[in-house]
Structure 1
C-alpha cells in the first residue's frame, strides 16, 4: 500500500506520486484495488535481483516490522518472543523474516492461542496484504492441526473468492489442506493434483511456508512409494530453510525423512532422522511433529524385535499427545498402539484395543494408504481369532479403495494381499513378493507363503515370540540391519528363495534370466555373510517375523477359538 512505502521512505504520499506515475507508465507497476503490485512475477524477481543482497535483506526486515509505524532503533533486530506473546495481536517476525508470531505458535502446538491472535489480526481493516495472508494461512493451519472442519471450510472459501495468486500463502495453504483432506478419504488423484498445484505456485513464498506445501506433497509421494520424488521435495524444503538468516525448524524435514525411511525399510536411517526430531530444541524444534517421530522410533524397534523399546517410545508418543499442545494428525498413533499390543499381549488383546479405543481404524482409508501392509496384518489378526466381522470390514474397505483408485499399483496390491490370506492363494502371495513396492508387505507375504509351503513340523521354525534375552534382541537387530541393506530386487529374490522356489522359477516371477537371478543371489549371500539357501531361509524368517509383529501356531489358533472357516 502507498502508505507503507511512505512510512518506509519517511516521505509523504504526495511526494511519491511522480515516481509512481513513472513506474506505472513504464508498465512495471499496476493498481490492484487498494494496493500497488508488480505487473508480473518476472518483473518482481528482476527488480529483487538488481538490489544488492545486504540492502535487500535490510528492506525486507524493515517491511516486516510492526505495522503500527514504529521504527526500530538502529541496529535492532526483530525477534520472535520465546515463548510467543499470546496477548500480542501483531505479527512480529524473526530476524530476516523467518516466521510470524502466529505461525510460530501453530508449529509449537499452541493452536488455540494462535487462532485467537490470527482472528484479532484479521479483524483489523488496516493490515497489509502479507500480514493478512500470514494470518489466514496460520488460521487454516491451526484448525487443521485441531482436526476441525473449519480448516476445509475456510480453504474452500478463500479459493472460491480469489483463486490462487503468486505469493498468496493463504491460498496455497488452502490448496494443501484440501489436498490432505482428499487424500485421507482415498481420493488420491484429487489429493495429488491439489498438492502438486500448491507446490507449483509456491516458488516465491517464504521458505517457512513453502516447507508445508513441499513436505505435504512429499508425504503423499512416499505413501505411493515414489521415494526419489519425495526425497527431492524434502531436500528442496530443507535447502529453503538453510537459506534463511537464522536456523529454524530443522526438525520438520527430518520428520518426513524418518517416515520415508521407515516406509522404505531403512530402519537405521529412520531411527537417526526421528531422533533428530525428538532431540531438537529451541529454533530447530517442531513440537507438533514430535509424537509422529516417536511412532517412527517405536515401529522401527518393533520391526527389529525390540519390544521393550517399542513400548517405551509408544508411551512417549502418547504422553506428547496427552499434553496441552496440538500435534500433527496421523493414523499412525493408533496403528502403532495396535501393533505393539499384538506383539506384547497377543492377538486377542489387539482385537480388544481395536474394539474399545480404535473402532474406526479398520475402515480408515488413510491407514491402508500410509501402510499398504495394514490390510493384510488386520486380516491375519482377524483370521487368527475367528473375527469374521473384522475380516469383512477390512476387505470391503481396501477393495473399495482399490476400485476408486485404479491407477495406483500399491493400493491394488494391498487388496490382493489381504484377499490372498483369506483364500490361501499362494500365487497371489508370490505376486506380492515379486511386485509390491512396500518392503513390509513383501515380508508379510513371505511369512505367510512360508507357512503354506511348510509342513507342521518345519513350520515351527517360522514362529516367533517376544525376545527372551538382550542377546536375542541384539541378534535380531543385527539381522534386520543386514537385510535392510539389500536392494529391492535382492530382497525379493531372497524371499522367493526362502519359500523354496528355484532360480528358474524366480526368474519368471521377477522377469529376469536365471543367470541374472543367480548373480543377485551371490550378492545377497555376500551382504548377509551366509553361504547356503538354508541360512537364507532362516534369515528371511527372522526378518519377516518382525514385519508380522506376532505369529501363532496351530495349537495357539485352536486356543484362540479359530474355527478354521476363513470365509468373511
Structure 2
C-alpha cells in the first residue's frame, strides 16, 4: 500500500542546496522529471491536472518497508545501500521504484533518476555531478557542459567529481534510481562508486528485469546472496497475493470482484501488467458491472436475449477474453496446448486416462504437460479430475478449434466412452457436437439421450433433440415425430418457448397419431400459457380435450392449463370450472394442481385467508405424492401470497420447502418472490438484484407471465431512489405486458408508477391522467388494493389533495371491506387504518397504521402522515413522528421523501443536519455522496439545474452547489467533460456511495 510519509520540517534560513530536488539524467534523449501517473517522457502536451491521483500501491507493502528502512539507515546512520529490484516483465518493478522515490523525496532526499544505455564509471559519476550542480528540471543532452568525458581507464574516478559528490552528500542524502529493463547491466559502473561511498547517505536502487520464473516457485524472496558486499539489498518480486489482486481490480473498476471474477483474475497469475490488461479489456468491452459495491461479470448482449442457439456451435466467448487467452497460451508449449484442447473436447471435468487414450500416449508421459498447464494458471490444482480454472478458458479453446476437427475429436471421444459402457445421456455433449449425417444410428442415439435427460437437464435434452432434427432434415420419417415431441417438451422446460411453439405448430399441420398429437398440444398449450397468450392456450387445450384418442393423463394436465388460462381471462368462469373439476375429480391425481389454481383465483377475488388455506392444502397433497403442474408449485404460490401480506418469515419458510427443480420457472420465480420480500423490508439493493435476476430468466424464456412482477419491483425501487427515467421505462413495459385481464392489472400498476413520477416532477396534466385511469380501471385498482399495501393510502392522499373527497372515501371503504373480509391479516388492516386516518383525520388510526404496517416505505409514510396531521395541534409530537419518518426514509435511500419531510420539519422550526461523513475516497465516482450521484445522473440525462431541482425537491442553488462538488471531485469543468469522464472510466454514474447526505 502506498505510504505518504511526512516531509521533515526545515528552517526558513536553510540553504537552498539542502532542499530536496528531483532530476532525471538519461544517457540520451530529453531530461524530464516524471512520477507514475504523469505523461510519458518526451510528450509535448502538459499533464492534465484533472486526472485522478496515482492509485495506491497494492501487495508490495513489505518490499516498500524494506526500501524505506534503507532510506532511514542512509539518512540517520550514513550507511549506503546498493539495492536491486528483480522480477519478470510487468511484475511492478518500475512502480515500486517510483514509490521509493516518493518516500525519499518526503524524507528530504535528492532524487536522481538515471535511464538509458550502459554507463562507464566516469560517465555515470560525471552525469550525477552535473545533475547536482546544474539547474534542476532543465532539458539538456548528454553532451551538455558538465558531463565528464570518458577517460581511457574507467577504473579511476575523477577526484574533483568525487569531491563535489561528497560535498553534496554532507548536506543532503541522495537516492539514485535506474530502471534498466533489459538493457546491459550497470553493475561494473556501480560497484566502484558504491565501494567508495559506502559510508555516505547514498541509496542506489536498480530495477532489473529477470527471466520469468514459474508461478509455483516465484515466491517473494527478500534475501541477500552470499557474494554480495555489505549494504546490498536484493528484492525479488513475485506474484501479487489474491487480496492484492482484488484491491488493484477494485481501484480500476470501482468495486471488489466476486468469486467468479476472482477466479478469472487468477489467469493474470498475480502479474500487475497482465491484470491491467484484463481490467482494460473489461472496461473497453463492458464485460463487468458493479452492483451494491461488488463487481460481477456482465452478460454478453447477444446471450441474454437469444431464444435458441445452434447446438453444434460452441458458446460464444466474451470479446474481452480473447486477447487475454492469446497472451496466456503463448507461454505454453504446443504439446501442452494440444493436451488442453483434448481436455476441452472431453468436457469441463475429464479423466487423465481419457486424455492419454485420445492422444495415444501413456499417462506418465503427459505429466510434464499437465504440470506446465497448472503452472500457466489454466488447470486447477488438487482436483480429482482435469478441470479448468474457469469455464471461459475451456470455451475459448473450443472456439479456436476448426469445426471439422472439433467434430472428429468428439466422435473419437464418443467411441471411447460408449465402448466403456457409458449411457447416452452421459455422452450428450459428444453426441451433439460429433453427430453427422453419414451415421444412420446417430439420430436414434440423440433421441435416446434426450429422453433420458429431459427432466434432469432440459437444456441439454433440447440441444440433443434439435441436433437430431438437423440430422434427419426436412424429410418426415419414423425418426422425425419422436424427436419433435421430445424437442418441444425440452424447449418448454428449458425456457425456449418461442422455439417450442414453432416446432409444435409446424408438426401439428401433418397427420399424427392421437398420442403424439396430444403430447404436442399439451406442451404447446403450456408454452402459450407461460408466454402470456392465454386465449391461444385455451384454444389448444380445448382441441386436446375434444379429441377422444388423447391419453387420460394428458387430458388431466390439459385441464390444469385450461383452468390457469381461465383465471386470467374470466375469473368467475375459472372458479366455476375449478369447483366442478374438484367435485368430479374424487381421487384424481390432479387434485393438488386444481386446488392451487383455485387458490390463485380466490386471492384475486380478495379472499386472502381462503387462498392461503387452499395453498396449504395443495402443498400437503403435493408432499403426499399428488401430481401438480410442473411449472406451478403450491409452495411457490403460497410464498408469493405471504410476501404480499407481510408475513415474511412464513414466506421464507415456504420458499425453503419448495422443490429445487431444473426448469427455468423454478429458477426465476423464487428470485421474484425474494425481490418482493426484500422490497417490503426496505432492502432496495437486494430487491433490485433479485428482481433483475428473475427478469433475466423470464426475458430469456419470453415468459410474459413472470415479467410484470419484476418490472413493478424495479420501478418501485427506482421511484424511491428518485431515478424517474428508469421508473418510467418500467411503467411503459408494464402497459404492454399481457393481453388478458391481468393486462388490466399491469396497466393499473403502470398508471400508479406514472402518477408517482408526475407527482415528483411536477407534471400536473400527467398526474391527472394517471389518477383518472386508476379510477376507471376498477379491475386493476382492486388488484392493487389486494397486493400493494402502499396503494390505498397513497391514492387516498392524492384524491384528498385534489379535492375529491368522495372518491377518497370510496377507496378507504374498499380497503376497510378487504380488511374485514380477511381478519388476522395485519398488512391489510394497517392499510385500511391508514386510508381511514387520512380521510377522517384520525390520529389514532394513523398511529395504529404506523405501528402495524409491515412494508418499510409505507410505515415511514404513515409516520409522515401522522406528523403532518399533528402539526396544528402538537408541534412536539409532530416533530417526533416526522423525525421517525425522516430516519426510515433515510434508511431506504428515498431522497425525494427525505427532502419533503425535512421541509416539513423546517416549517415547524426544526432543523436537522443532513450531512454525514464516512471514510471514502476524495476523488472519483466512489467519492460522490448519494445526492451527488443522483444529481450527476440527472445532469447526464440532459436536465437543466432547474429540472434537477424540481425532480429532487431541492433549490437551484443547492443543485448548483452539488454540481460544483461533482466537478471538483472528478476533476472536470463542464457537463461535456462529465459525460466523457463517465464513459472513459466505465462507470454508469448510478452506483451508490456510503455516507450520503440526506
If the TM-score is normalised by the length of the shorter chain, which range does it land in? 0.5 to 0.7
Aligned to 1:507: none
Aligned to 1:138: 561
CA spacing shift, 1:483–1:200, aligned 2, 3 Å: farther
Contact 2:722 2:952 (8 Å CA) reproduced: no
Aligned to 1:187: 607
CA spacing shift, 1:198–1:164, aligned 2, 3 Å: farther
| Partner residue of 1:385 out of 799, 802, 812 | 802
Deviations, residues 496-546 of structure 1 (Å, cap 9, x unaligned) = xx999xxxxxxxxxxxxxxxxxxxxxxxx9x9979xxxxxxxx9xx9xxxx
Aligned to 2:207: none
Task: Name the SS for the 1:240 alignment partner.
Answer: coil
Aligned to 1:151: 574
Deviations, residues 389-446 of structure 1 (Å, cap 9, x unaligned) = 1112112111222222232222222222112223433343333333322222211112
CA spacing shift, 1:71–1:334, aligned 2, 3 Å: same
How far has the Cα of 1:158 moved from its partner? 0.7
How far has the Cα of 1:299 moved from its partner? 1.1
Task: Name the SS for the 1:288 alignment partner.
Answer: coil
The 1-side partners of 2:482 and 2:543 are apart by 30
Contact 1:249 1:286 (8 Å CA) reproduced: no
| Partner residue of 1:177 out of 597, 602, 605 | 597
Structure-to-structure mapping, 1:124-273, within 5 angstroms: 124-147=547-570, 149-163=572-586, 165=588, 167-168=589-590, 171-203=591-623, 204=625, 209=630, 211-237=632-658, 239-242=659-662, 250-273=667-690
Task: Name the SS for the 1:201 alignment partner.
Answer: helix
The 1-side partners of 2:557 and 2:607 are apart by 28
Aligned to 2:770: 353
CA spacing shift, 1:328–1:132, aligned 2, 3 Å: farther
Q: Considering fraction of residues, name the structure with more helix.
A: 1
Aligned to 1:86: 505
Contact 1:147 1:329 (8 Å CA) reproduced: no
The 2-side partners of 1:218 and 1:153 are apart by 25
CA spacing shift, 1:406–1:481, aligned 2, 3 Å: closer
CA spacing shift, 1:388–1:356, aligned 2, 3 Å: same
The 1-side partners of 2:577 and 2:750 are apart by 27
The 1-side partners of 2:768 and 2:712 are apart by 20
Contact 1:192 1:217 (8 Å CA) reproduced: yes
Please say which of residues 296-305 and 325-334 is displaced more in the overlay. Answer: 325-334
How far has the Cα of 1:221 moved from its partner? 1.0
Q: Which has the higher contact order (CA 8 A, sep 6+)?
A: 1
How far has the Cα of 1:336 moved from its partner? 3.0
The 1-side partners of 2:482 and 2:559 are apart by 32
CA spacing shift, 1:123–1:219, aligned 2, 3 Å: same
Aligned to 2:544: 121
Contact 2:853 2:859 (8 Å CA) reproduced: yes
CA spacing shift, 1:280–1:403, aligned 2, 3 Å: closer
Contact 2:660 2:666 (8 Å CA) reproduced: no
TM-score (norm 1): 0.61
Contact 1:121 1:127 (8 Å CA) reproduced: yes
Contact 1:225 1:438 (8 Å CA) reproduced: yes
Which ranges in structure 2 are unaligned for 5 or more consecutive residues?
Answer: 1-424, 427-447, 456-460, 462-477, 492-498, 509-515, 896-900, 907-913, 920-930, 935-950, 954-998
Contact 2:857 2:888 (8 Å CA) reproduced: no
CA spacing shift, 1:362–1:347, aligned 2, 3 Å: farther
CA spacing shift, 1:480–1:310, aligned 2, 3 Å: farther
The 2-side partners of 1:384 and 1:328 are apart by 26
| Partner residue of 1:368 out of 779, 785, 796 | 785
CA spacing shift, 1:197–1:116, aligned 2, 3 Å: same
CA spacing shift, 1:249–1:427, aligned 2, 3 Å: closer
Contact 1:86 1:114 (8 Å CA) reproduced: no
**Counterpart check, 1:432 vs 2:859:** no
The 2-side partners of 1:282 and 1:300 are apart by 20
How far has the Cα of 1:256 moved from its partner? 2.6
**Counterpart check, 1:280 vs 2:713:** no
The 1-side partners of 2:561 and 2:830 are apart by 38
Deviations, residues 3-48 of structure 1 (Å, cap 9, x unaligned) = xxxxxxxxxxxxxxxxxxxxxxxxxxxxxxxxxxxxxxxxxxxxxx
Aligned to 1:300: 717
The 1-side partners of 2:487 and 2:676 are apart by 32
Contact 2:671 2:691 (8 Å CA) reproduced: yes
The 2-side partners of 1:478 and 1:373 are apart by 14
CA spacing shift, 1:159–1:77, aligned 2, 3 Å: closer
Larger Rg: 2
CA spacing shift, 1:423–1:360, aligned 2, 3 Å: same
How far has the Cα of 1:302 moved from its partner? 0.5
CA spacing shift, 1:288–1:158, aligned 2, 3 Å: same
How far has the Cα of 1:267 moved from its partner? 1.6
Task: Name the SS for the 1:127 alignment partner.
Answer: coil
Contact 1:109 1:288 (8 Å CA) reproduced: yes
How far has the Cα of 1:91 moved from its partner? 4.7
The 2-side partners of 1:528 and 1:214 are apart by 45
How far has the Cα of 1:284 moved from its partner? 5.0
Contact 2:655 2:670 (8 Å CA) reproduced: yes
The 2-side partners of 1:362 and 1:455 are apart by 38
The 2-side partners of 1:140 and 1:451 are apart by 48
The 2-side partners of 1:282 and 1:357 are apart by 27
Contact 1:259 1:296 (8 Å CA) reproduced: yes
Aligned to 1:27: none
Contact 1:341 1:349 (8 Å CA) reproduced: yes
How far has the Cα of 1:335 moved from its partner? 3.2
Contact 2:644 2:676 (8 Å CA) reproduced: no
Contact 1:106 1:138 (8 Å CA) reproduced: yes
The 2-side partners of 1:73 and 1:120 are apart by 19
CA spacing shift, 1:328–1:59, aligned 2, 3 Å: farther
How far has the Cα of 1:109 moved from its partner? 2.4
* Cα RMSD, aligned residues only: 4.8
CA spacing shift, 1:342–1:59, aligned 2, 3 Å: same
How far has the Cα of 1:184 moved from its partner? 2.4
How far has the Cα of 1:218 moved from its partner? 1.7
The 2-side partners of 1:229 and 1:278 are apart by 24
Deviations, residues 172-204 of structure 1 (Å, cap 9, x unaligned) = 343233222222232222222222222221233
The 1-side partners of 2:828 and 2:619 are apart by 24
The 2-side partners of 1:362 and 1:76 are apart by 41
Task: Name the SS for the 2:622 alignment partner.
Answer: coil
How far has the Cα of 1:121 moved from its partner? 1.4
Task: Name the SS for the 1:100 alignment partner.
Answer: helix
Aligned residues: 418
Aligned to 1:394: 811
Contact 1:453 1:499 (8 Å CA) reproduced: no
